[in-house]
Structure 1
């Protein structure tokens, strides 16, 4: 079992490397650290930091030192967080600790979720059927965005040689994602959120059109569904079998159905380009949820292109965790890595016994590892739950 804990650079800097490593290995019993090396904005409660209780990371920055030569002519380039200059390169520090016998290192890389870059490059973000720019989401069909993501992967894996690189958001993002002061007075249903997430940017429109899809008709259908949702006094499903049937729920509308099938093309080809860009010494895994198809991800194909999957078992009962693990193994087969991701958040995890039961449900199905979220966001005693679950 490969057991990792997700964390941020500021977590390590605040408590110090020695205490951090003791917590990871001795208290939690983990053997890997999954460090965020490319991340978005947020507000983070830091329950046990000796320096602060709240941290606001910079939006859309990286937490390593990029190779200037690699980015010299790039139209979209990473910005190094001030955190690295002020507190040090924690990716380099963890790799150095690994060489001295410390835990393995995984580079947790947020790919296309980047509001800072989206605002700087509005022509490279996803757009709704009404041409509204989703500034938080670079589009996987954008050549510039794709070069940015593959550049990150090449840069990190060749310069730092982490044991693993975890890919987050290399796909189309949902409409609702926790943006600052999001407002929805309609009461959007899951189908509405999905329809508003469908991208009709210039790249998607041109590429899907070249594949023979009637994009004008697909756009017209999506606009019609969204407009109808906005006109009702109270929410009412227009697709009663959504999301259970996947894109087949849209079979009565051929142009839209064909477009939804096509959405896998840019996402899966981006994963193939990421694979080609990475140093082969670093294993690549995709971090996803059970409904990854919503973002254009084919989990079975992703498992074949990469070295495996980490499926998030957030807020699931043990029975649902077991089903997720069985389905994940069916998708990736016996030879690819399958991990499960858990949050140590309360009340999602009521107590130690609750967490142990949910981890045991996945382990009983033969998963290869687990990732736990998140070192700096929970009280230290919850690290004991991790050791108990691994025992």
Structure 2
């Protein structure tokens, strides 16, 4: 089987440029064999350098980009909102229907728990901080309604649209920093500050952790005390300077907090397992994450038991680090699960075709079985040539265009 050579793409890119023109460009100019199309996405403002219709585009917040099956959503408290541009065309279904003609398999790139529209409408389903404040940008993976929303979304994509794969983005607990517009931080939050602010202490998380034997009140008290001390410092001072290299083991001297942090993987991994169980068996389920996915409760090694693989985003790092992170992920997943690497084609992070080729080569050397490039509509057309060139020299790895 040919390895996946994919590019993350927005539906409005396909509408603006035309499905056949996009497919031809991806297949023949960029040398790709898969399009990963946004099926559920958040708000933003995007510069569209090649669009003949709009220089910038600001999508609606927390919407889906396909026509759902109303019967599947009849019992869901959290309801999807269809983006207005779907009235023009259902690009996802059109791409699936055209697979044989275009030669492109279709993945549904799906933002899961990052949904400010739903978080604002249903605050009880959103993350609740240790200070009792709700974060509208982050639905909680412990909340039954949030879990059912994501499972139903993937069920609809796989049984209704019959995509080849679903790529799950933001499937775990979201970080405090990845939040709302115009965020302000005059304190200078450290890595552990951000993690502690990201912890959810909603009733469902409290109950789940308590049933697992965690001293939730002690964990919450430690988190509150640490944050209060951080807020009072003139200059930010990391309490755990090696947190990002040691992982959650850095919290071992504080047993209750450590246990609570370890428990967070339980709702996240069970949610991924539920998604896999409800998805069509012919559609692969892949998690999009970073090497430090443990910050959000994703257990990299555990993914091999609950889904079909991982797409490891390797942004803003050099080839040696890409190989190291990919190798670690391959060891965690084992040889039989899919491992893709996400690479951004942004300047100056990638300044030319040779730099991109080095990163692709590093990923394959580390054990990746595919690559996702970011992002079709955001880059000049000339960088599609870089993508093809990056694949052209990889025949010695068995990964060729």
Tell me which interval the TM-score lies in, with the shorter structure as reference length: over 0.9
Q: Could you list the per-position Cα deviations for residues 208-230 of structure 1 after superposition, in whole angstroms to 9, with x for gaps in the alignment?
A: 12222111111110011111111
Taking the aligned partners of 2:326 and 2:213, their CA distance within structure 1 comes to: 37
Cα pair 2:39 2:108 within 8 Å, conserved: yes
Give the match for residue 72 of structure 1: 74
Say whether residues 1:192 and 2:193 are aligned partners. yes
Give the match for residue 37 of structure 2: 35
Q: CA deviation at 1:60?
A: 0.3
Q: Could you list the per-position Cα deviations for residues 230-265 of structure 1 after superposition, in whole angstroms to 9, with x for gaps in the alignment?
A: 110111111122122211111111111111111111
Taking the aligned partners of 1:158 and 1:196, their CA distance within structure 2 comes to: 37
Equivalences for 1:6-17 in 2 at 5 Å?
A: 6-17=8-19
- TM-score if structure 2 supplies the norm length? 0.96
Q: CA deviation at 1:42?
A: 0.6
Taking the aligned partners of 2:168 and 2:230, their CA distance within structure 1 comes to: 33
Taking the aligned partners of 2:43 and 2:110, their CA distance within structure 1 comes to: 14
Give the match for residue 276 of structure 1: 277
Structure 1 runs (4+) greater than 4 angstroms displaced: none
Equivalences for 1:58-97 in 2 at 5 Å?
A: 58-85=60-87, 87-97=88-98
Say whether residues 1:169 and 2:170 are aligned partners. yes
Q: CA deviation at 1:150?
A: 0.5
Taking the aligned partners of 1:141 and 1:366, their CA distance within structure 2 comes to: 33
Taking the aligned partners of 1:302 and 1:112, their CA distance within structure 2 comes to: 18
Taking the aligned partners of 1:73 and 1:5, their CA distance within structure 2 comes to: 34
Q: Could you list the per-position Cα deviations for residues 71-114 of structure 1 after superposition, in whole angstroms to 9, with x for gaps in the alignment?
A: 123111111000101x2100011001103353000011111110
Give the match for residue 26 of structure 1: 28
More moved, 273-282 vs 238-247: 238-247
| Aligned partner (choices 50, 54, 57) of residue 55 of structure 1 | 57
Taking the aligned partners of 2:344 and 2:102, their CA distance within structure 1 comes to: 27
Taking the aligned partners of 1:73 and 1:305, their CA distance within structure 2 comes to: 25
Give the match for residue 264 of structure 2: 263
Taking the aligned partners of 2:9 and 2:89, their CA distance within structure 1 comes to: 15
Cα pair 1:60 1:114 within 8 Å, conserved: yes
SS of residue matched to 2:66? coil
Taking the aligned partners of 1:176 and 1:83, their CA distance within structure 2 comes to: 30
Taking the aligned partners of 2:100 and 2:364, their CA distance within structure 1 comes to: 29
SS of residue matched to 2:243? coil
Q: CA deviation at 1:303?
A: 2.5
CA RMSD for the aligned pairs? Answer: 1.0
Give the match for residue 286 of structure 2: 285
Q: CA deviation at 1:270?
A: 0.5
Give the match for residue 299 of structure 2: 298
Q: How many residues align?
A: 390
Cα pair 1:191 1:243 within 8 Å, conserved: no
Give the match for residue 357 of structure 1: 358
Cα pair 2:23 2:102 within 8 Å, conserved: no
SS of residue matched to 2:180? coil
Q: CA deviation at 1:178?
A: 5.3
Give the match for residue 113 of structure 1: 114
Cα pair 2:322 2:366 within 8 Å, conserved: no
- TM-score if structure 1 supplies the norm length? 0.98
Mind listing any 5+ residue stretches in structure 2 that lack a counterpart?
393-401
Give the match for residue 247 of structure 1: 248
Cα pair 1:214 1:255 within 8 Å, conserved: yes
